[in-house]
């Protein structure tokens, strides 16, 4: 398929201001009108009523808006002027100073958007609100169980402290010499080094505390 670019006849553009209302009305064949302000009750705002083909509210050109004039040739070969009114945000996105700028900001943009990766669509299969409620309830139950465990530990703490104190006292008790079990009596002065080492080894097997009273 062969595609080509064609161009419409250039448009003439005028921006409406509060100072040029009368001049603009004379240029487009319209008139200056007044209407009550939508922003400030009781205030009257002036605008240019532009003779557009449909003659609707879009024909009202307030200060800050743009009016375009285009020359067209009808099917009867008659040259006519047509006018249109645009808000500033729409006009600045769709009207350009040169053909190159128009191409760069419309057709080139269309090509870039068509070739860029598509956004990944996220599908949620779970009712997020219900899942959040269930998670909050589970957290509440866990907090209650944790509080119960802490209460039990707090109630048992005196007994735990008492048992620890008993264990510490028992561990620090000295062992009387008559409680020590010795398999045989060794004459330390006459014993050889090997016999003495063996006796010490037997002695330490009884797990005698270091501070035992001898």
pLDDT tens per residue across span 133-146: 888 888 888 888 88
Could you tell me the pTM of the whole model? Answer: 0.51
Work out the average pLDDT over 182-206.
Answer: 56
Percent of the chain's residues with pLDDT above 70: 71
pLDDT digits (tens, 9 = 90+) for 111-126: 888 887 777 666 666 6
Q: DSSP string of 89-105?
A: HHHHHH--SSHHHHHHH
- Asked if pLDDT for residue 212 goes beyond 60, the answer is no
Tokens representing residue 30 in the block: 């319209």
In the block, residue with structure tokens 């190159």: 100
**Distances in Å between the alpha carbon of 188 and those of 162, 180, 185, 192, 207?**
44, 18, 9, 8, 21
What's the pLDDT score for residue 152? 75
pLDDT at 201: 64
Count CB neighbours of 46 within 10 A.
14
**Structure-model confidence comparison of residues 178 and 12, the more confident one:** 12
Q: pLDDT tens digits, residue range 28-77? A: 999 999 999 888 888 999 999 999 876 555 789 999 999 999 999 989 99
Residue indicated by tokens 């319209």: 30
Q: Higher model confidence: residue 60 or residue 129?
A: 60
Q: Which one, of 13, 24, 25, 16, lies nearest residue 68 by Cα?
A: 13
Domain definitions of the chain by residue range: 11-103, 130-173, 174-206
Confidence of residue 213 (pLDDT cuts 50, 70, 90): very low
Confidence of residue 14 (pLDDT cuts 50, 70, 90): very high
């Amino acid at each position: 398929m062969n595609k080509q670019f064609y161009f419409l006849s250039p448009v003439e553009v005028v921006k409406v201001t509060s100072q040029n209302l009368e001049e603009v009305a004379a240029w487009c064949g319209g008139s200056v009108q007044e209407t009550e302000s939508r922003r400030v009750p009781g205030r009257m705002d002036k605008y240019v009523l532009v003779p557009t083909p449909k003659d609707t509210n879009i024909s009202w050109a307030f200060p800050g808006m743009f009016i375009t004039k285009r020359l067209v040739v009808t099917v009867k070969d008659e040259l006519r002027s047509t006018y249109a009114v645009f808000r500033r945000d729409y006009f600045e996105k769709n009207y350009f100073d040169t053909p190159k700028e128009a191409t760069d900001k419309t057709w080139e943009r269309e090509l870039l958007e068509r070739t860029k990766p598509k956004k990944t669509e996220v599908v949620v299969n779970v009712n997020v609100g219900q899942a959040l409620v269930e998670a909050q309830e589970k957290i509440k139950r866990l907090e209650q169980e944790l509080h119960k465990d802490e209460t039990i530990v707090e109630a048992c703490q005196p007994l735990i402290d008492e048992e620890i104190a008993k264990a510490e006292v028992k561990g620090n008790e000295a062992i009387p010499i008559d409680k020590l079990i010795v398999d045989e009596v060794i004459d330390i002065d006459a014993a050889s080094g090997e016999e003495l080492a063996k006796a010490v080894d037997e002695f330490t097997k009884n797990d005698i505390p270091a501070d035992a009273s001898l």
